[in-house]
Amino acid sequence: MTETVVDFPKNFAEALNNSQLRRNLRAAMDTMGHRRRTLFADLDALEQLRARGDAIRWRALRQLPDLLEQLEKKCTENGIQVHWAETPAEANQICLGIIQRHHASRVIKGKSMVSEEMHLNHFLDEQGIEALETDLGEYIIQLDHETPSHIIVPAIHKNRDQIARLFHEKIPNAPYTEVVEELNAIARKVLREKFFAGEVGVSGVNFAVAETGTLCLVENEGNGRMCTTAPPVHIAVMGLEKVVERLEDVPPLLRLLTGSATGQLITTYFNMITSPRKPGEKDGPKEVHLVLLDNGRSKIWADPELRQTLKCIRCGACMNHCPVYTRLGGHAYGYVYPGPIGSILTPQLEGLDHAGAMATASTFCGACEEVCPVKIPITTILRRLRTESYDKADSPNAVKGHGYKVNRMESLTWKGWALSNATPWLNALNAKVLGLAGPHLSKLPQVGVLKHWGQSRALPPFARKSLHVLAKEKGIADE
Amino acid sequence: MSNARANILARLRAVAPQEPAATPEPDFYPATKLGHAERIAQLKRLMEHMHAEVIVTDPQHWIATLKDVLRARQVNGLLYGPAGPLGAALEANWDSELPPLVGYTEEVEQCKERLFALDAGITSTRGAVADVGALMLWPDANEPRLLSLVPAVHIAVLEATHIHDSLADAIARERWAEGMPTNALLISGPSKTADIELVLTFGVHGPKELIVLVLDDERG
Ligand code: SF4
């Protein structure tokens, strides 16, 4: 994925001019926000719960290497085979190896953002293996060869007419209907057959409990249970930060996750998997594999400030409340994780030189931080990423691709600015010149960067008197 | 592969452990202690909100209630676990005019066709949690996992005394951490989705209907 260069300005302009997309998104994000607020109406209780969630995730991260080893040990004792992968490519190879060992050609998938990060479907497709998404939203976008635009509701950018047309065109014998229930019924029918025939099931993991070696999955549709129960082999892929220490850590996180994501007290299913089929049991996979993916997480972890990024439980609330995301949608960001969490996570995973622009897609309103169930200081991390974009110094914890924005023109400008502000006579001269030019140069000139900036904004006129002069007139000492 | 493990752990171990955080961990929600009747009422209210049908019945007559449930629906058979907690009672009280009882007795590989063709399944439950309104199931050899997933109608039998205040409570009281089963489930209603325009619709991949028979000794 790093090969593709994402053209952010172009993406942003396109998204902003797509009025259908903006209508679809606006309605959905408002609804999700409203549902969340209704569920968490008791703000004191919510604060208490968020503090608990934050503490649980922080405690887990603090002991990360120990917990990963404990998780591995417990899982192995339970009969779950644990694999470690440093890169998406390694994780893909591990999955492929398992699939090939079972001579399987049909893989059914539950929703998993890590598998998106791995581009697993694309990879398997190249190997001649069908990987079918079974979550309704994922199924819809897979039919249209798209990627998720939201981590919880992946097809939220589409409305029912678009889905109706898609089903009618792509699914043999599907009638055209815009009735949501009928669209669901069509998908149910197609996917039932796939569940029946699936040879390997792939899923993500919401929490992995080190204490018991248990993989927890949250879902509403039942497709996740199908994928993890009906086929003879189950492969669970997870980012290595998803581990928690104890079983008792699960209930608070579960409440925070479902409440923050969709305003639900609980999802339809909470699925806890601790072992493959035991002797005498009649169903469930005979083999369960857990793939632990690093992909840069251990590097993020090494820095105490950036580490907070890894507390994320992927609820999507930061997107639903983000003024930038709700206007652009997920695709404009160009990477797997969009919205505020994407803006802090992706540049760290992919490198600032590739995805650093994502850190600029923020108004710093702080809404994301206010709703984040595990209190990730998103704006602080954004600021750090922006700073590092201009920092060439090679400190051990520097973010990959740092200093990519450093260029001579900009450094000269800032040097000049610093000089001017530290040298009173120069500053006074500058102010005079601009002030005198005032009547003629009533606004900032519309050139260079300012041209873009000015296109959709009213530009401020120059003040007749500079701050220095005004301060002097008011008798404030100039230090 | 083993390299990946060593490399990842080496990277993580290279960082000096940080001081244990002084962050206090506040209690998860002020624990509400509910009485027996309140617990049932709360569970019923929340699960019905999620489109489950919850029928409180007394332990002597639950099979009669079940028969009414089945008569009201056109189902081609009822999948059950003959060696499970409900098996004997079902077999002893079955009528020929009812949809046939079909035992889940073979491994899924042997009976997949039949399994996917049946309309209804019945299971016992380990209990329930009142605060969020969900059943707890620990499927096992006698009542396998797909029994509560594949048939379009899932009927679950719950003993009222097994309803906990919360999941946290159930985990602590029943000492789940000492030994988890192959699969543990919470189920709060029939399967649902909101993936198209956030319109909530029920019955996607799992059951379209969930009917809970709560056996309550103290009823009436
Ligand atoms: S950053 Fe916070 S709000 Fe955003 S997805 Fe992660 S946990 Fe949710």
Q: What is the pLDDT of residues A95-111, one digit of tens each?
A: 999 999 999 999 999 99
| pLDDT tier, B55 (very low <50, low <70, confident <90, very high otherwise) | very high
CB of A233 less than 8 A from some CB of B: no
Ligand 1 centroid to residue A159 C-alpha, Å: 25
Asked if the model's pLDDT at residue B1 lies above 70, the reply is no
Closest ligand 1 atom to the C-alpha of A309?
1
d(CA A315, CA A258): 7
Q: What is the pLDDT of residues A18-49, one digit of tens each?
A: 888 888 888 889 999 999 999 999 999 999 99
Tell me if A309 sits within 8 A of A300, measured CB to CB: yes
Pocket flag, ligand 1, residue A256 (CB < 6 Å): no
* Mean pLDDT, all residues of chain B: 92
Give, as one character, the DSSP assignment of residue A342: H
* pLDDT above 70: percentage of residues in chain B: 92
Nearest to B217 by CA among B147, B152, B160, B151: B160
**Assigned token pair, B105:** 């007795």
Tell me if A275 sits within 8 A of A226, measured CB to CB: no
The mean pLDDT value for A404-416 works out to 76
Q: Where are the alpha helices (DSSP H) in B50-86?
A: 62-71
Q: Categorise residue B50: left if φ over 0, alpha if ψ from -120 to 50, beta otherwise.
A: alpha
For strands B153-159 and B209-215, give the pairing: parallel
pLDDT in the model for residue B100: 96
CB of A266 less than 8 A from some CB of B: yes
**Assigned token pair, A180:** 């949501």
d(CA A461, CA A159): 43
The mean pLDDT value for B79-101 works out to 95
Last residue of a domain, one of A298, A316, A350: A298
Verify whether the Cβ–Cβ distance B9 to A68 is below 8 Å.
yes
Which of A141, A206, A282 best probes binding to B when mutated, by most B CB atoms within 10 angstroms?
Answer: A282
The mean pLDDT value for A372-379 works out to 97
Q: What is the pLDDT of residues B112-139, one digit of tens each?
A: 999 999 999 999 999 999 999 999 999 9
CA distances to A217, B40, B163 from B220, rounded to whole Å, are 39, 13, 18
Tell me if A373 sits within 8 A of A331, measured CB to CB: no
| pLDDT tier, A478 (very low <50, low <70, confident <90, very high otherwise) | low
Last residue of a domain, one of A298, A319, A342: A298
Ligand 1 centroid to residue B47 C-alpha, Å: 28
pLDDT in the model for residue A5: 67
Give, as one character, the DSSP assignment of residue B162: G
Please report, for the domain that includes residue A278, its CATH number. Answer: 3.40.50.10420
For residue A396, is it within any domain? Answer: no
Pocket flag, ligand 1, residue A321 (CB < 6 Å): no
Last residue of a domain, one of A243, A271, A298: A298
Pocket flag, ligand 1, residue A338 (CB < 6 Å): no
**Assigned token pair, A286:** 């005979």
d(CA B36, CA B170): 15
Give, as one character, the DSSP assignment of residue B27: -
For residue A15, is it within any domain? Answer: no
Tell me if B91 sits within 8 A of B101, measured CB to CB: yes
Cα–Cα–Cα angle for A440, A443, A449, rounded to 5 degrees: 130
> Nearest residue CA, atom 8 of ligand 1?
A315
Best residue among A308, A372, A380, A382 to mutate for probing ligand 1, ranked by most atoms within 8 Å of CB: A372
Closest chain A residue to B151, measured at CA? A192
CATH T-level fold of B36-215 = Rossmann fold (3.40.50)
Amino acid found at A17: N
pLDDT in the model for residue B7: 97
Closest ligand 1 atom to the C-alpha of A313?
7
For residue A191, is it within any domain? Answer: yes
Asked if the model's pLDDT at residue A2 lies above 50, the reply is no
Q: Residue A20's CB: how many other CB atoms inside 10 A? A: 12
For residue A3, is it within any domain? Answer: no
| pLDDT tier, A3 (very low <50, low <70, confident <90, very high otherwise) | very low
Report A:174-213 residues touching B (Cβ under 8 A). Answer: 180-181, 183-184, 187-188, 191-192, 195-196, 211-213
pLDDT in the model for residue A110: 95
- Of the listed ranges A333-337, A465-469, B190-194, the one predicted with least confidence: A465-469
| Closest Cβ opposite residue B198 in set A31, A222, A302 | A31
Q: Is the dihedral of CA A332, A335, A337, A342 positive or negative?
A: negative
Pocket flag, ligand 1, residue A373 (CB < 6 Å): yes
The mean pLDDT value for A74-85 works out to 98
- Number of domain units in chain A: 2
* Phi, psi dihedral angles at A84 (to 5 degrees): -115, 140
Pocket flag, ligand 1, residue A259 (CB < 6 Å): no
Tell me if A195 sits within 8 A of B205, measured CB to CB: yes
Tell me if A373 sits within 8 A of A313, measured CB to CB: yes
Ligand 1 centroid to residue A367 C-alpha, Å: 11
Closest ligand 1 atom to the C-alpha of A341?
1
Closest ligand 1 atom to the C-alpha of A344?
1
Pocket flag, ligand 1, residue A322 (CB < 6 Å): no
Map out the domains of chain B as residue ranges.
Answer: 36-215
Which residues of chain A are within 8 Å of residue B14 when distances are taken between CB atoms?
302
Asked if the model's pLDDT at residue B33 lies above 90, the reply is no
Q: What is the pLDDT of residues B174-185, one digit of tens each?
A: 999 999 999 999
| pLDDT tier, A394 (very low <50, low <70, confident <90, very high otherwise) | confident
The larger pLDDT score, comparing residue B155 to residue A428, is at B155
d(CA A73, CA A69): 6
pLDDT in the model for residue A9: 82
* Inter-chain Cβ pairs, chain A and chain B, closer than 8 A: 248
| pLDDT tier, A407 (very low <50, low <70, confident <90, very high otherwise) | confident
| pLDDT tier, A13 (very low <50, low <70, confident <90, very high otherwise) | confident
Asked if the model's pLDDT at residue A1 lies above 50, the reply is no
Nearest to A309 by CA among A342, A262, A275, A357: A342
Asked if the model's pLDDT at residue A253 lies above 90, the reply is yes
Amino acid found at B94: W
* pLDDT above 70: percentage of residues in chain A: 93
Tell me if B98 sits within 8 A of B64, measured CB to CB: no
For residue A142, is it within any domain? Answer: yes
pLDDT in the model for residue B128: 98
* Mean pLDDT, all residues of chain A: 90
Residues A294 and A436 in one domain: no
Which residues of chain A are within 8 Å of residue B17 when distances are taken between CB atoms?
62
Pocket flag, ligand 1, residue A313 (CB < 6 Å): yes
Tell me if A298 sits within 8 A of A309, measured CB to CB: no
Classify residue B196 by burial, with Cβ atoms within 10 Å: 0-12, 13-18, 19+.
buried
pLDDT in the model for residue A465: 78
d(CA A176, CA A168): 5
pLDDT in the model for residue A453: 66
For residue A462, is it within any domain? Answer: yes
For strands A106-109 and A200-203, give the pairing: parallel
Q: Is the dihedral of CA A381, A341, A48, A43 positive or negative?
A: positive
Tell me if B50 sits within 8 A of B133, measured CB to CB: yes
The mean pLDDT value for A435-440 works out to 57
Q: Is the dihedral of CA A189, A195, A197, A200 positive or negative?
A: positive
Asked if the model's pLDDT at residue A216 lies above 70, the reply is yes
Range of the domain at A444: 408-473
d(CA A87, CA B148): 37
Tell me if A464 sits within 8 A of A431, measured CB to CB: no
Nearest to A284 by CA among B101, B141, B130, B186: B141
Give the sheet arrangement for strand A200-203, strand by strand: A80-85, A287-293, A233-239, A200-203, A106-109, A130-133
| pLDDT tier, A436 (very low <50, low <70, confident <90, very high otherwise) | low
| pLDDT tier, A421 (very low <50, low <70, confident <90, very high otherwise) | confident
| pLDDT tier, A12 (very low <50, low <70, confident <90, very high otherwise) | confident
Report B:161-190 residues touching A (Cβ under 8 A). Answer: 166-168, 171-172, 176-177, 180-190
| pLDDT tier, A274 (very low <50, low <70, confident <90, very high otherwise) | very high
Tell me if B42 sits within 8 A of B130, measured CB to CB: yes
Report A:155-174 residues touching B (Cβ under 8 A). Answer: 155-156, 158-160, 163
Tell me if B122 sits within 8 A of B103, measured CB to CB: no
Report A:82-111 residues touching B (Cβ under 8 A). Answer: 83-86, 90, 94
pLDDT in the model for residue A468: 78
Residues A68 and A213 in one domain: yes
User: Going by C-beta distance under 8 Å and a sequence separation of 6 or more, which residues neighbour residue A466?
Assistant: A427, A428, A431, A434, A435
